[in-house]
Amino acid sequence: MQLLCLVTVVAAAASVADGSAWTADGKVHDLSSGSFEKAVRSNQLSFVEFFAPWCGHCKKLVPEWERTAELSADLGVLVAKVDAIAEKSLAQEQEVQSFPTLKLYRGSPKVSKNYNGARTADKMAEWVKVWHDAQLVERLGSAPTASSIKSWASAKPFAIVGFLSGSEAADASLRHVLEDLSFALNPQSPGGEVPVGEVVADEALVAELGGDSKLPCVVVIRDFDYEEKVLFYQPTGKGGWKGGYDSLLKWVKEKGVPALIPAKEDTQQFFLHDIDPKNGLVMYFGDEQVLRQGMHGLAVKFLKTEKRLKWVHASPNDFSENLAKSVSLTKTDFPEVVLWEFGETEDDDKVYRLSQQPAGAAGLTASALEDFVKSWQADELDAEKDPVQSVTSESFQEVVLDSNKDVLVEFYAPWCGQCKALAPEYKQLAAHYASDSGVTIVKMDSTKHKLDSVEVKSYPTLKLFLKGKKDAPVDLGFKAGRDKKSLVDFIEEHRAGGKGGSKKEEKEKKSKDKKSQKKEKVGKKEYEPWGYYCGCRPSYFLLCNAHTWFYAS
């Protein structure tokens, strides 16, 4: 009996060691830092949940996650979970920023994408099947020409083509790397953001495209203003294509972002993601060609500076008008150049307008813009004052309760997606009442400051403290509109001598806002208040996938 037990234990240990324990058997496997890499490398696809034991959404996901494992078994997809609190280092290594985070891996811990769709078993299994069945690399025909390749690439501003030599032995590693690139670079759908193709080429075709690289090689074709259109890459070092995947991915990320980024819905992930404190955005709201070209030159010039900047050109349109709200601009302020400096949190962000600085006195020119940026780098500029006043638990009594004004207070959390969505509208509201001596618009970080007299159960909570009635604040409620107009209506409806609030907009939105505590629509996408978007700034505009590839660290 003892011998049998010993044999069983040894067999189990051997099973774990050779990876056979990590198979798609319809069950959810528990992974740790010691087993994670082995499990992921043992399967073509692995769907992994990073959870926190205390997370309510993680607990709610359990039955759906177990059902996803059952539905994905026939595809050979491993479904697993990692306790991100117990395995903190692993979670950080995998860039887990919220719970639960769901990541799909393609045979390597370095090749993954995040899932941000509906958290039902049917939807999750359906998404996994899309990537299981996907043709990741498109074959571009047997007689390619420079013209046909450029025509294929023109569907998107950035495309990748693997130029094969025709030798199976020489091309095998590159083919595998191309598939990994396509998987990692397309967060939503195969080829949806970055088309990846392959052709059997010769040196004449390379020369026709303006290169002199040996085969096989990787060619990037891009349609960026003022920049080189076709670029060539070959690995350096002993690892060849497969060993040089990290270097190739970094190179692709660098070349995939234009120096001057056009502000559009399909480019916002270029500039609204991975902004480190003290770095920032230079945004030109206008459409003057000479200044645009000058901005591109400055973007290249300032590329390697210590305080990193991303440069954005926002032509007048609906998207740029929405973007402008985040820096308290309206279309009547155009043309304008704004430098948006990011802080540790959104409350620490700073905004500088060129037109209000000495450098902008003579107008918006490339020379003035260069002086403006240099002054910012030297910490010589004064930032605009945030129109929304911040209060603490210590100042709340004086600013809100003792004030002879009507005071609207937003109780928020820095990580809350709905709070971030509200931020630009709330700033516009504060600007609207800036000249009104009877109304003050304030906010308080409820994760840092607590009040015994005010109950906050969810974020954001908005309460209107009316003068003479400060002990009975009016709660905005979840079903009310949270745009500037609706907030103005709310204040005017309740303040003494107000203009009266219109209920029209609230009625129009009633059906849409029925589930507003769980979901809010942002543009054409949806996000969850506890999801990854909470970690991005500003989430009102950021519609990118959690594993967005466009920025190299």
**CATH number for the domain harbouring residue 203:** 3.40.30.10
Tell me phi and psi for residue 490, to 5 degrees. Answer: -60, -45
Task: Please tell me whether residues 172 and 103 are part of one structural domain.
Answer: no
Which residue, of 312, 344, 378, is where some domain finishes?
378
- How far apart CA 338 and CA 120 sit, in angstroms, is 42
* Statement to judge: residues 71 and 122 lie in one domain: yes
With respect to residue 95, please indicate whether it lies within any of the assigned structural domains.
yes
In a domain, 400, yes or no: yes
- Give yes or no: residues 274 and 238 share one domain: no
Distance from the Cα of residue 356 to its chain's centroid? 31
**244 and 267 inside one domain:** no
What string of pLDDT tens digits covers the 553 residues of the chain? 444 444 444 444 444 444 457 889 999 999 999 999 999 999 999 999 999 999 989 999 999 999 999 999 999 999 999 999 999 999 999 989 889 999 999 999 999 999 989 999 999 999 999 999 999 999 998 788 999 999 999 988 899 999 999 888 889 999 999 999 999 998 878 878 899 999 999 989 999 999 888 899 999 999 998 999 999 998 887 777 877 788 899 899 889 889 999 988 778 777 876 677 878 899 999 988 889 999 999 999 988 776 788 999 998 888 888 888 778 787 778 889 999 998 877 778 889 999 888 777 778 889 999 999 999 998 898 888 888 899 999 999 999 999 999 999 999 988 777 887 788 889 889 988 988 989 999 999 998 899 988 988 888 999 999 999 999 999 987 667 888 899 999 999 998 876 654 444 444 444 445 444 444 333 333 333 333 333 444 433 443 333 333 333 3
Query: Which of 340, 356, 378 corresponds to the end of one domain?
Result: 378
Same domain assignment for residues 334 and 405: no
Look at the chain and report how many structural domains it folds into.
Answer: 4
CA distances from 32 to 29, 48, 50, 67, 413 (A): 10, 11, 11, 22, 31
Residue 275: name the closest of 537, 2, 481, 85 by CA: 537
Q: Is residue 505 part of a domain?
A: no
Q: Does 325 fall in a domain?
A: yes
Residues 277, 239 within the same domain: no
Q: Can you give the residue range of the structural domain that contains 63?
A: 29-133
pTM: 0.68
Q: Are residues 364 and 318 in the same domain?
A: yes
Residues 251 and 306 in one domain: no
Give the CA radius of gyration of the chain. Answer: 27
**In the listed set 105, 133, 161, which residue is the last one of a domain according to the structure?**
133
